[in-house]
Structure 1
Amino acid sequence: MSVTDKWEDRVMRAAHPLAFPALSALKKPVTRVPGLGVVVLDAGLIRSTLLDTNSFSKIGKGAPSDIWTPLLGPSVLLNMEGKDHQQLRRRLAPLFTPSYVNDLVNNSLGEVTRRLTERLVRGETVDVVAEARHYASIAISNLVGLPESATDDEFFRSVTSVTSFVTLTRPRMSSAQLRRAREVLAGISAHADRAYDAGDEKTVPGRMRALGFSRDESRGIVGAFVVAGTETLVAFIPRMVCLLSDSGWLARLAAQPELSEMVIAEALRVVTPSPVMLRCAIADSHIGGQRVKTGDRVILGTYWGNRGLEGFDPQSSKAASLKQLWFGAGPHFCIGAPLAMTQIRLVLGAIAAAEHRAPLTVTHREPSRRVLIPGYQSVRLGKLS
């Protein structure tokens, strides 16, 4: 096992000490696991299941609607299907045009990432996890209209605590957890409402008002972006940095920045920030020869499907062949992917620029334990001595 694979294995086991080895031990592409559901680990079968919206839905027992509808309401993309989903996705599309996304990210993170380059070149050792959290907090402040001073570490921890209530074996929140999650979102919603009323199109609520969304629609969508999108990005960036440092690709990327797109795609394939996707069977069907009954919970193991092509190798065509399966497929392909990719490019570019001037290495790392989204608690990056 390579160094990169060893660390990725540690990260996954720390996050899910029971579920990860259990799913990794499954030998067949599709397996019915008592107490969990039908588990799919083959990339091709995962894609075909995602595309078959007549048989498999995000609405139903054990599906995303079980998690998000009680918290965010019934209309936030994460928990929708059919014509309503298509219409909302079309209405949201202007929020993710290249020009709007680039302006949003560069205005939010351009200066802090330039400072990151200079700090690393000066010899400062930085915690990439803390940096990623800081950048996410800045992005949230711009997204919602919060003052940046309000988005400190405690704020970020409260936001990400919402996802900690969910596990593979506990796919919905208890009444107490739901109350706590609603308390967390109440503050965000209040600021989102104020930003909506102010109508400043530099904020997402203001932009949504200009696009004809109601205040309630704006509040729900912003809540979904903050809760569902923030933690995956914060988990991914430090894991990507570790992959590049361990494999020697950070130095290579610094010398050949034109390789950044293939490097990011391969890192996304290997890491797959959201290791599973959930569906509920809404019709009797089959997946790879396995019978699936109406009402069955279907667990799509995207981490295992993407990793079926072996270890980290940006020069291969592994990532290209998967057609960005880590972002989903078909009508539910992640609408926020352009925003995430723009943020990733900016942060990676800043670190690669520092590497070009002063070679870097990961000096210390600590995986996060028992979290929904696997990642590191700390990753220290500094000058190579």
Structure 2
Amino acid sequence: MYLAAHPVAYPLLRGLARCGPVVRVPGVGVVVNDASCARSVLMDGETFRKDGPGSPGDLWTPVLGPSVLLNMEGEAHRALRRRLTELFTPGYAEALVDDVLAVPLQAVSRRLASGETVDVVAMMRVMAGAVISRVIGLETASENDFRSLFEAGERIVSMVSLRTRRLSPAQIARARAVLDPLGDIAAKAYADGSPSTVMGRMRTLGLSETEARGAAAAFFLTGTETVATLVPRLIALLHDTSRAVSGDASHRPGGFADGPERPFGGAHEAADFLDRAIDEAMRATTPTPVMLRSVHAETRIADVPVRPGDRVLIATHNCCRAYGPFDPSRPQPPELRRLWFGAGPHFCLGYPLAMAEIRTVTRTLLAAGPLTITRRQAARGVLIPTYRRLHIKRGPEEGPR
């Protein structure tokens, strides 16, 4: 799947994994292939920053502005993050997702129960679009609108490849043409100030309108594709390894036609397995294949010296894949834990929302089992490797995988 998305860059990235935990690559920067080294870089927000040359700031500041967490450091970043800490608590995230997705997920369950085929990729585009619509404050309930919103974000993210350092003026203009109207909508929801909306909660938490607009744009860019691409790949991994758990009240085993015939100990064990499976799928697929930092002080990463102005490319995918194939039964070591969401001062603020969405959708699909995959195709020309289509159906397998 990575080869379909990045036929040239991916073999080069994987080749670098054989060069050692940290390696300097001319024209690329200092590449980090080791999870412990990567975590030490991410934890040091003073030396390794997101607002210098070769960092994410070079990519996104011209599009999002200077104050959106993605490109901030120091006290300004800490102050903004403190005000946003309570935005997506686990309880709030779960309630938001349940409210937004209850009706569409019921429809998916009915389709599977009646024997219809469901394209998990197309379904997740709508689901992710619906959730981010609620976050931004869009007043829409149309599947076409949700799908269009997701596709707009996909077009922006697809401008970036594993080799991109900066967006061109034309690319910046295209991105702003999408994001500016969404910022206006977010600003309206902010002005209304309802505590029932995410934008209204930002006002309550003390953010300015400009900060709220920037946060909405950042959530839009980072909060759709990660979830939408992960769920189809998680379903495929569970299917292919015959490891699944049913989410229904009977706690029946399986979830797939060829799933394990083993009962779980109850709801707690089922929920624990699902969370471990989600974490393991994220490790194996690595929705954030690389992370960028700019060096601001002379130091070393492992045995490699780095200087101010150096670009550090954390090969998250190499760090994660070093621990072997997908296996939810294997504990993840501390240095690896949720590395794909970052670490330290820039750990993903939307993590509870992403997990709530993935957990809710996956639980619904598995509860509709036994399921089988009847068709799949990898996507090409995308930043985050994913499927172009993944068809599932209740019952025994009838078509090619």
* Structure 1 counterpart of 2:57, one-letter code: S
Structure 2 residue runs of 5 or longer lacking an equivalent are 246-252, 256-262, 265-269, 397-401
Residues 148-159 of structure 1 mapped to structure 2, 5 A cutoff: 148-149=141-142, 151-159=145-153
Q: 1:173 to 1:379 in 2, by over 3 A?
A: same
TM-superposed CA distance for 1:20, in Å, is 0.8
Deviation track 1:158-204 (CA, whole Å, cap 9, x = no partner) reads 12111111123222110000001000012211211221222222321
TM-superposed CA distance for 1:211, in Å, is 2.0
> Which structure features the higher share of helix residues?
1
Matching residue of 2:267 = none
Matching residue of 1:318 = 332
TM-superposed CA distance for 1:98, in Å, is 2.2
Deviation track 1:117-155 (CA, whole Å, cap 9, x = no partner) reads 232122111110111110011112211221123724333
Q: Give distance in 1, aligned partners of 2:230 and 2:80.
A: 27
In the alignment, is residue 341 of structure 1 matched against residue 333 of structure 2? Answer: no
TM-superposed CA distance for 1:292, in Å, is 1.5
Matching residue of 1:124 = 116
In the alignment, is residue 75 of structure 1 matched against residue 86 of structure 2? Answer: no
In the alignment, is residue 277 of structure 1 matched against residue 291 of structure 2? Answer: yes
Matching residue of 2:260 = none
TM-score by length of 2: 0.89
In the alignment, is residue 53 of structure 1 matched against residue 67 of structure 2? Answer: no
Residues 203-282 of structure 1 mapped to structure 2, 5 A cutoff: 203-250=197-244, 254=255, 255-256=263-264, 257-258=270-271, 259-282=273-296
Q: Give distance in 2, aligned partners of 1:45 and 1:73.
A: 30
Matching residue of 1:362 = 373
Equivalent of 2:28 in 17, 36, 40: 36
Q: Give distance in 2, aligned partners of 1:126 and 1:267.
A: 21
Equivalent of 2:7 in 7, 17, 20: 17
Residues 131-170 of structure 1 mapped to structure 2, 5 A cutoff: 131-146=123-138, 147-149=140-142, 151-170=145-164
Quick check: 2:295–2:309 contact (8 Å CA) kept in 1?
A: yes
Matching residue of 1:378 = 389
Structure 1 residue runs of 5 or longer lacking an equivalent are 1-10
Runs of 4+ with >6 A deviation: none
Tell me the percent identity: 46
* Structure 2 counterpart of 1:78, one-letter code: L
Q: 1:187 to 1:253 in 2, by over 3 A?
A: farther
Q: 1:241 to 1:320 in 2, by over 3 A?
A: farther
CA RMSD, 1 decimal: 1.6
TM-superposed CA distance for 1:319, in Å, is 6.0
Q: Give distance in 2, aligned partners of 1:374 and 1:201.
A: 36
Equivalent of 2:76 in 74, 84, 87: 84
* Structure 2 counterpart of 1:246, one-letter code: D
Matching residue of 1:351 = 365
Deviation track 1:30-62 (CA, whole Å, cap 9, x = no partner) reads 111222111111111111111122321111111
Q: Give distance in 1, aligned partners of 2:24 and 2:216.
A: 36
- What SS does the aligned partner of 1:362 have? strand
TM-superposed CA distance for 1:91, in Å, is 0.2
Q: Give distance in 2, aligned partners of 1:118 and 1:350.
A: 11
114-123 or 213-222: bigger deviation: 114-123
Q: Give distance in 1, aligned partners of 2:7 and 2:391.
A: 24
